[in-house]
Structure 1
């Protein structure tokens, strides 16, 4: 029976306009991305985003703002993956150097956008976080590759 799997991802911004980046080392999605993770049973999406940021970065964010959703269906398993995206510019605490997820650090937005080290398909996420003109991204996995033409939906 297919399952629905829920995730979150948050772009944290500082006063200098930089974004907090995770250099993810796990083999299922390595590369530069924003921190995030699974929504636990009984947990709201916002609470999960706040928790994941704290666990992966040591920072406590306040008032994360929804900025989009990414979702995909795996054709073999039938599983549906839904990932809620947030922006946060209010935070406190001391940044960790990293966890078992990878190293976290501040990076210029345009430097991130131009990087050749992004996690697979993360370049497709960036317009939802950085451009503000889209609210949703949907694409399919056919068992071998991602759909070549992801579908963006405007606000």
Structure 2
């Protein structure tokens, strides 16, 4: 996932219900083997928005574990503060919106993204680990850490 910031504004994607995570979210997606994680983030932003991000900085890790199924899902989070290019006219993942960073949390978005949003802009890095019961759709245990 890569938050794109331009001054006081951030670029969000309004994902429709059919994409699995409805509401506003930062661009992102899966890493294609064997590309690096940061190259995957850069590629996903380009595919979803048309922008080529520069000055990309690692901000933190979100980890979701389902101990019953033995699965782990990891999201590497980045912040890009410069870019080149123009926004796509017909983006594949949903409507693109530049919004004031201080107003973004008023938009409809998933709770997990709402909790993560301020961490993109805080000093240092973060790590969030959630044990998740996918069958009952509940959090079993959560650990949040911030590093200066």
* Same fold, TM-score > 0.5, yes or no: yes
Alignment partner of 2:55: what SS? coil
The answer on 1:106 being equivalent to 2:106 is no
Change (3 A) 1:58 1:27: closer
Q: Give the Cα–Cα distance (whole angstroms) in 2 for the partners of residues 148 and 12 of structure 1.
A: 32
Q: Deviation of residue 151 (structure 1)? A: 1.8
The answer on 1:122 being equivalent to 2:113 is yes
1:151 to 114, 123, 143: 143
Contact map agreement 2:128 2:144 (CA 8 A) in 1: yes
2:10 to 4, 19, 22: 19
CA RMSD of aligned residues (A): 1.8
Match of 1:44 in 2: 36
Alignment partner of 2:139: what SS? coil
Q: How many residues align?
A: 145
Regions of 4+ moved over 4 Å = none
Contact map agreement 1:98 1:104 (CA 8 A) in 2: no
Q: Deviation of residue 120 (structure 1)? A: 4.1
Match of 2:69 in 1: 77
Q: Give the Cα–Cα distance (whole angstroms) in 2 for the partners of residues 97 and 90 of structure 1.
A: 20
Contact map agreement 1:61 1:92 (CA 8 A) in 2: yes
Structure 1 residues not aligned, in runs of 5+: 1-8
